[in-house]
Amino acid sequence: MGFLSYAIKVPKVITIAFFLNLISYAHHLFISALTHLGLYKQPPAEEPSESDSATNNFILILDSSSLSLVPIQVHVVTAVIKNLVPVIEYE
């Protein structure tokens, strides 16, 4: 039998998890085959508008005066970073 027969224990009964993994693998294999043949195309993802993404996205920044986290909108932080980065023109 060898060393590996003691190291790897094969279940004697097919469990539900094994069966579900087998179905999931078959599903992914089927979808990838259809995609490769050009018969399956996923619907296009909806892109959020600029106003929605600017109002809903926050990051937490440490406030130095009170040592607490303050939520700040992402577009504000990116505008500050863009102003601080020097512009270098290449010829």
Per-residue model confidence as pLDDT tens digits over 3-62 = 656 666 666 666 788 888 889 999 999 988 888 888 877 777 777 666 555 457 888 888
Enumerate residues 6+ apart whose C-beta is below 8 A from 68: 62
Residues 9 and 30 in one domain: yes
pLDDT at 41: 78
* Domain membership flag for residue 90: no
* Domain membership flag for residue 89: no
Q: How many domains are contained in the chain?
A: 2
* Domain membership flag for residue 67: yes
Which one-letter DSSP state was computed for residue 71?
A: E
* Domain membership flag for residue 69: yes
Taking the C-alpha atoms of residue 69 and residue 78, their distance in angstroms, rounded to an integer, is: 18
Domain that residue 30 falls in:
4-37
* Domain membership flag for residue 19: yes
